[in-house]
Amino acid sequence: MLRFMKHPSGAFQSIVGRLARQVEWGDCDPAGIIFYPTYFRWMDAATWAFLEGVGYSAKRMRAEQLAMPLVSAQCEFLAPAEQGERCEVRSRIARFGGKSFVVSHEIVRGDGAALAQGTETRVWGRFSGGPGTPIKGQAISDEIKALFRVR
């Protein structure tokens, strides 16, 4: 479900994670189109899949007590999506800060139409004492940054 391609340009030359989604009955609302928090669910899932693609699977994140809590999130909704439509969430690292990073996401329908575009700003952190304990921000190493850079 996750492949990579080169990103044409940008401050950080990020690889692109791709996550396939199909709009489901339960993702939609009485207007017959996607309920907007669904896009944020997809963006969250896409970020986790993006990390899995570079070696940071959920299992490894748990084992190393890593977490990536949100600072902020935003999304623009460009076109409605109906149940059954096949989409792809395309994720890139837009920026790396010292302990934080920004992931940009494009949600594109099978026919190429852009449905939504959003960003998540997250902290790279570690649970101080296992899940449920406070999360402390960690410096993002050059090794981690390199995993997301186009080569």
By CB under 8 A, name the binding residues for a second copy.
Answer: 1, 22, 24-26, 28-33, 35-38, 40-41, 44-45, 48-49, 52, 57-59, 62, 67, 69-77, 80, 82-84, 127, 130-132, 135
**Which of 97, 115, 96 lies closest to 42 in space, CA to CA?**
115
**Which of 115, 118, 40, 106 lies closest to 82 in space, CA to CA?**
115
Integer Cα distance of 121 and 142 in angstroms: 19
* Least CB distance to a second copy at residue 13 (A): 26
* Least CB distance to a second copy at residue 3 (A): 15
Residue with Cβ nearer a second copy (59 or 151): 59
**Residue appearing with tokens 């017959």:** 32
* Least CB distance to a second copy at residue 41 (A): 5
Residue with Cβ nearer a second copy (24 or 64): 24
Residue with Cβ nearer a second copy (73 or 140): 73
* Least CB distance to a second copy at residue 142 (A): 26
Q: Which residues pair with 100 in a beta bridge?
A: 123
Q: Which amino acid is at 63?
A: A
Residue with Cβ nearer a second copy (61 or 150): 61
Residue with Cβ nearer a second copy (32 or 112): 32
Question: C-alpha dihedral over 57, 24, 31, 46, to 10 degrees?
Answer: 20
* Least CB distance to a second copy at residue 77 (A): 5
- DSSP3 helix / strand / coil % (the chain, rounded to 5): 20, 40, 40
